[in-house]
Structure 1
């Protein structure tokens, strides 16, 4: 799944970057989580391919990124500013070909996201999202990437409150959110997402949903 955005009531940004390093990586056992790079043709080509798979369009819709060039523009205009503002956003997930492999040796297989929304209807904690290539589904990569990104955000950026939203009928995404360790907090028609009927998950210890602006429309 992809993700949407909101802003944390108690989180801090103690190590927010002023510039984006092309060498940045959050390593996990099997993966590297890294920034999308503007001008990197392999990144824009991968993003274009991922967002135009039948499986992605069926669950997230057609985003209109129908060429690698448009994907590159999206990375520059939409993705990079989030990195500079928050230290996270839409992150590239790459599979290590063997234990200990470097980022450069690894193959892009998906995206993991931690996003904060803007505007009067935005929720006051970021939410996590994920999507992988269809052929890589069912291998635990989305779960591993989400756990890795949330752990990094907690440890390095002080982000201690994170939501997970997905369509109420998307059982695959719901299972991932449960494996991450999130708690099911009920179903809501989320105003920020146009009233979409969604399952709402939150990290343990978070407060009442209304405290974050989450109410039925």
Structure 2
């Protein structure tokens, strides 16, 4: 039986400029921020509408989908907060995005998670997505036993491809990924991962 994973609200993965922390069910600040982030024009243009068009829907999403990922894997979608100065605490920091390590439920899942990131439009271009992705991957490998990480994006998404390369993933070609409805995607993986992606459940 899966039990709830409930880290303390003060928990964070610190990086030089950021704190990475868990979204908290029942925290209206978190659900309001997620609603805002996923309804910016830039996000909708890139990812399409999520259906989380009210803070209440975002709150329900955090309590069910996000918490479910935490319960299974101890990772999933996590908050990215910007420190106002070196050494600032999580409480002092400003929420600016989401970084994720996502691994779905079998059979609709690969055996290793994929990394993702969304930063507020006004904070883009400052290296925060790269820093957050490196931070969450390092933590997951060190503390959660994650052995491999994928990165998926559309072939024409130059910004995402640059970030994936900066965090140390290597391009492994393009495939129509069944988990994403057969959409043609560029695939990135950690260099030490097997060259045969079928080992992880990725096939055409």
TM beyond 0.5: yes
- Separation (CA, whole Å) in 2 of partners of 1:120 and 1:164: 19
State the match for 1:119 in structure 2: 106
Gaps of 5+ in 1: 1-15
Query: 1:213 and 2:201 equivalent?
Result: yes
Structure 1 residue 120 displacement after superposition: 2.5
CA contact (8 A) 1:17 1:87 kept: no
Q: Secondary structure at the match of 1:99?
A: coil
CA contact (8 A) 1:162 1:203 kept: yes
- Separation (CA, whole Å) in 2 of partners of 1:141 and 1:172: 13
- Separation (CA, whole Å) in 1 of partners of 2:99 and 2:124: 13
Q: Which moved more, 1:180-189 or 1:16-25?
A: 16-25
Gaps of 5+ in 2: none
Match of 1:30 among 9, 12, 17: 17
Q: Structure 1's 99 and 185: CA in aligned 2 closer, same or farther, altered over 3 A?
A: same
State the match for 1:136 in structure 2: 123
Normalising by structure 1, we get a TM-score of: 0.90
Structure 1 residue 17 displacement after superposition: 8.1
- Separation (CA, whole Å) in 2 of partners of 1:206 and 1:215: 15
**CA offsets 1:56-114 (integer angstroms, 9 cap, x no match):** 01111100101111111111011112212211110000000000000000000000000
The total of aligned residue pairs comes to 201
Q: Secondary structure at the match of 1:82?
A: helix
Q: Secondary structure at the match of 2:9?
A: coil
Q: Secondary structure at the match of 1:189?
A: strand
Structure 1 residue 34 displacement after superposition: 0.2
**CA offsets 1:164-211 (integer angstroms, 9 cap, x no match):** 001111010000000000010001111110011100000011111111
Match of 2:49 among 53, 58, 62: 62
- Separation (CA, whole Å) in 1 of partners of 2:31 and 2:96: 13
Query: 1:48 and 2:50 equivalent?
Result: no
Q: Which moved more, 1:35-44 or 1:135-144?
A: 35-44
- Separation (CA, whole Å) in 2 of partners of 1:121 and 1:44: 26
Give 4+ residue runs of structure 1 displaced > 6 Å after superposition: none
C-alpha RMSD of matched pairs (Å): 1.3
CA contact (8 A) 1:20 1:84 kept: no
Structure 1 residue 119 displacement after superposition: 3.2
State the match for 1:99 in structure 2: 86
Q: Secondary structure at the match of 2:116?
A: strand
